[in-house]
Amino acid sequence: MSHLFEPLKLRDITLKNRIGIPPMCQYSATDGMAGEWHFIHYGSRAIGGAGLMILEATAVTAAGRISPGDLGLWNDEQIEPLAKIARLAREQGCVPAIQLAHAGRKASVGLGWGEQRTLRADEGGWQAVAPSAVSFGEGYAQPHELSVAEIAEVVTAFVAAAKRAIVAGFQAIEIHAAHGYLLHQFLSPLSNQRTDAYGGSFDNRTRLLREVVSAVRAVWPENLPLLIRLSATDWMEGGWSADETVALCRGLKALGVDLADISTAGLVPTAKIPAGPGFQTEFAARVRNEAGLPAAAVGLITSAVQADHIVRTGQADMVLIGREILRNPYWPLLAAQELRQVGVWPNQYLRAAPSGSVGR
């Protein structure tokens, strides 16, 4: 049997296979509300055969959006459109998860396909915040440095969004602490120049993330898994490192995190990233095998054989397939065919399924 199609149990949730869809921003929301694009985009991927689908970065405050097109869970009105997506996924046997996020100093920029710079007030922009008053780079405004009281409000916002995610019917939460957004900004010495309890030492720089995880775990149902997304390295001298990621994950496991989604970079625009097939998998392997925390690998994983090899050889517990699933929502079904597994197709599509497939 292919290891890629073995089930994976996280608390009381069992993924039907080791294939997940990572969070990928669609920049198509209005006032944080999911709409028709999201229903079609996520619906088509939910029926494509993946075991897990993590919805895109969903802001815990309006000011925490990357762009005006980001999803949000900062008010109750945003619950029902997301609940529709969660229901559809569950009906197809795909576990719905949602990524809760705060963009920090990378907030208030244009849509993902537009010019990446801070929007002016007359363009609908707003004040970005950060651990320190250090901008992301050229074209980005200097952020407001958060006070200790404002940091506490960030924790409260994550908790409130998690409670709304429960009402919406999601079966997992992923806390976004990667790609240069707020929680990652606190982790890295390159963006965190504070001298108080939230800056300087490893313990201080990881304090906010640990507080968010502990507070969310306290309200998130005990039987449901909590995931974390981390950038394992900034790919910059003096930045957040893979060794620190392993040490952090040991602590996060003790706080109730069930799986680490391991990516890299995003903190500074000048990082030199050696991108190539599976280039981030080694970091997932370190977290899994050194920190003892189940890990997901992501990044230029494109073929079924490659994905199966990663799981088979113990480099990761599952793989997250991003760009390939944007190109082909049914990648998991075709991967089953390639690996000679029984594909479980929607009954409505069964007439087009390969021989030996079954319906659901």
Whole-number Å distance between alpha carbons of 348 and 356: 16
Choosing from 27, 42, 140, 181, which is the catalytic residue? 181
Eight-class DSSP state of 51 = S
Among 60, 56, 58, CA closest to 41: 56
Report the distance separating Cα 147 and Cα 107, nearest Å.
18
From the list 61, 55, 60, the residue with the least C-alpha distance to 173 is 55
Euclidean distance between CA atoms 10 and 301, whole angstroms: 23
Q: Are the C-beta atoms of residues 280 and 298 closer than 8 Å to each other?
A: yes
What is the C-alpha separation between 191 and 39, in angstroms, rounded? 36
Whether 27 is a known active-site residue: answer no
Nearest to 89 by CA among 346, 290, 354: 346
Contacts 24+ apart (CB under 8 A), 330-334: 330/48, 330/49, 331/19, 331/48, 331/49, 332/17, 332/19, 332/48, 332/49, 332/50, 332/51, 333/48, 333/49, 333/357, 334/304
| 265 touches 278 (CB < 8 A) | no
Report, as residue numbers or ranges, the catalytic residues. 181
